[in-house]
Structure 1
Amino acid sequence: MTITALVARHQGRVVVVDVAWGVALTLAGVASAVVGTAADSGHLGVTWVVTAAVGVWGLRLSLHIHRRSHSGEDPRYEAMLGGPLAEVGMGVAVRKVFLVQGAAVCLVALPLTIGAVTDVAWWPLVYVGLALWAVGLFFESVGDAQLAAYRAKPRDQRPPVIDTGLWRYTRHPNYFGDACVWWGLWLAAALANGWVVGLATVVAPAAMTYFLVWATGAKLLEQTMMQRPAYRDYAARTSMFVPMPPRH
């Protein structure tokens, strides 16, 4: 996050922290696996499989965000900071964004860090968790691809909102997929190691879901989107988060 803050100061925008998010959690997974290997926790195969799953998710997400990144600031971060970075200063950005994001990485990575040094107790949960991770990765990657294809069309040749594919069933398939990924990783890396480890780390996927829905994700984005009449109509018939059949 320190490196990301320096990049943000150079570019004059804090939205670069979104690119760092997936990379930071991938590095946390690798560090945990290395520690687990040194401790010889007894299930190194599971530890490295989980680490690979985190890497696939995190690096795909960071690359996707980097590719779609523009030169300006994200309105969500301007609202969070209380103005452009040039006006509020790096001190405010460090306090409100980079320190918070750094702490969030440590919190969300708890299933990886604790799971890497404890033994598997319930093997079926490893497979259930990896299956849920796969479902989440599908929703996130396919949702992102469908949105990119929609945005690639000229404005006069596309509908005012995307309401096809996964977007027909949820207004935020990528955020929903993200939540599934981390609940799946919690099942595979933590709860599979026993109920004590599970209870000690359940705050991680719960916090991730909170971020995605209420803090920096869906709710914050919709404050802007709801200003568009077409989006309000879309929201009236489409579930905000969990995929459901559209309402009439």
Structure 2
Amino acid sequence: MTEINMATHSNFKNALIAFLAPLPSILFYLSFLQHHNENNSLWNWCNHHPLLLANIMFFLNVNVLFWFISLLQSSLHWMIGLYWMLIPVMQLHFYANHPMAQYNQLRSWTVTILTCIWSIRMIHSYFRRENWQLGAKQDWRYIDMSHQYGKNWWWISFFAIYLSQQVLQIGICLPMYIVHTVDKPWSFLDFIAIAICLSGITIAFYADTQLNNFKCRNQKLKELGQPMVPNLEKGLWCYSRHPNYFGEQLWWWGLALFTWNLGQNWIFIGPLINSICLGYVTMLVEKKMVRDNYRVDAYKLYQKTTSVWIPWFKSSTNGKDKKN
């Protein structure tokens, strides 16, 4: 079998796995919608505990099943990255169509449209980054952790990758739940939330596009045997070392803002935890960047002159700015 045929076969196999993996939750959900009016203790419980039900389905279908699939695939934890972009859409549909849901129709439609736009943007970025393949590459952070924990990684991965994802995913998606439990009139604050969400999606899209183009150019230089450009310091990356992360945070904070007018200010704990986690990821990325000898000096200067997240004008070092 040729290398191309093997890649095609692997891509098809992983696509089939990705399609079948969430079916237990989907089938249970469809059965619940069909039978929720029946006088049954299970359906009655599901009727009155939508948030707990979402967490249980996440735990069993994502944490347990996805983790088990990863073990069968020699600890390849690629599926959780793919479904990071799909689970919010699935949660939103669950909350919006739950029998106990009550909400402002315009706000529900708005959050649904924005979430779909965000998801499409993320899926496009994911496949572009992975060269339109599924499960072909392992996240470098998981590789580092597997080396760190060695033979214990098989069970530690359940907590480090899957259970932690549940805390983040359910937490940052709580606004989708709150929006569908409170029916209050549309307000000016909703327009502000829309502006923040769209700004975040747009910034993240352009930042990812600029980064992808930069990596492609460097790959061509490497193939030609020419020196690679150490850092991306043009476009949005001239004003922030991680504009894609900044845009992603704007999206989640903007989503949480929809709940401010609904009297649920505590909901900001979700994006706050996510921001803290992304701050930790930023530290890991920056440590990884200075491991490469060809870029270490340039990147250290880049760190001194350029804001970490929030876009801002470059500062100077010894009166001179570093440029590409």
TM-score (normalised: structure 2): 0.68
Counterpart contact for 1:121–1:192, Cα < 8 Å = no
Note the alpha carbon deviations across 1:35-68, whole angstroms, 9 max, x for none.
2xx4462402211220221122124213422332
Offset from partner CA, 1:59-112 (integer Å, 9 cap, x none)? 421342233237343332233445488x44432211211111022211111111
Q: Cα 1:43–1:12, aligned 2, differ >3 Å: closer, same or farther?
A: same
> Is 1:98 the counterpart of 2:162 in the alignment?
yes
User: What do residues 156-186 of structure 1 show as CA deviations (whole Å, max 9, x unaligned)?
Assistant: 3752110000000001111000000011111
- Match of 1:67, as an amino acid? R
Q: Does 1:8 align with 2:70?
A: yes
CA contact (8 A) 1:122 1:193 kept: no
Q: Does 1:77 align with 2:139?
A: no
In the alignment, which of 312, 317, 323 is matched to residue 244 of structure 1? 312
Q: Aligned to 1:62, which of 123, 145, 150?
A: 123
Query: Secondary structure of 2:256's partner?
Result: helix
Distance in 2, matches of 1:142 and 1:65, equals 14
Aligned to 2:39: none
* 1:164 alignment partner AA: K
Contact preservation (8 Å) 1:19, 1:63: no
Structure 1, 122-131 or 72-81: larger mean CA deviation: 72-81
Q: Give 1:31's aligned residue.
A: 94
1:22 alignment partner, SS class: coil
Pick one of 109, 124, 143 that aligns with 1:48: 109
Tell me the residue number matched to 1:208: 274
Q: 1:31 to 1:157 in 2, by over 3 A?
A: farther
Report the AA paired with residue 187 of structure 1. L
Q: What is the CA–CA distance in structure 1 between the aligned matches of 2:308 and 2:79, rounded to whole Å?
A: 26
Total equivalences in the alignment: 239
Kindly tell me: are residues 171 and 107 of structure 1, through their superposed partners in 2, closer, same or farther at Cα, counting changes over 3 Å?
A: same
- The structure-2 alpha-carbon separation of the partners of 1:172 and 1:53, relative to structure 1 and needing over 3 Å to count, comes to same
**Contact map agreement 1:26 1:59 (CA 8 A) in 2:** no
Give the percent of matched residue pairs that are identical in Structure 1 and Structure 2: 23
Asked if 1 retains the 8 angstrom alpha-carbon contact of 2:196 and 2:251, the reply is: yes
Which stretches in structure 1 are left out of the alignment for 5+ residues?
A: none
Q: Which of 153, 176, 192 is the matching residue for 1:112?
A: 176
Q: Contact 1:238/1:247 (CA < 8 Å) preserved in 2?
A: yes
Q: Please report how far the alpha carbon of residue 121 of structure 1 lies from its aligned counterpart in structure 2 after TM superposition.
A: 5.4
Residue equivalent to 1:143: 207
3-state SS of paired residue (1:25): helix
Aligned residue number for residue 300 of structure 2: 232
What is aligned with 1:159? 229
Name whichever of 128-137 and 157-166 sits farther off: 157-166
**Equivalent residue letter for 2:118:** W
RMSD between aligned residues: 2.2
Q: 1:114 to 1:81 in 2, by over 3 A?
A: farther
1:200-241 deviation per Cα after TM superposition (whole angstroms, max 9, x unaligned): 211012122112222xx3112111113322211111111011
Match of 2:85, SS state, is helix
With over 3 angstroms needed to count, the CA separation of the structure-2 counterparts of 1:5 and 1:136, relative to structure 1, is same
Structure 2, unpaired ranges of 5+: 1-61, 317-324
The secondary structure found in structure 2 opposite 1:181 is helix
How far has the Cα of 1:148 moved from its partner? 0.7
Aligned to 2:189: 125
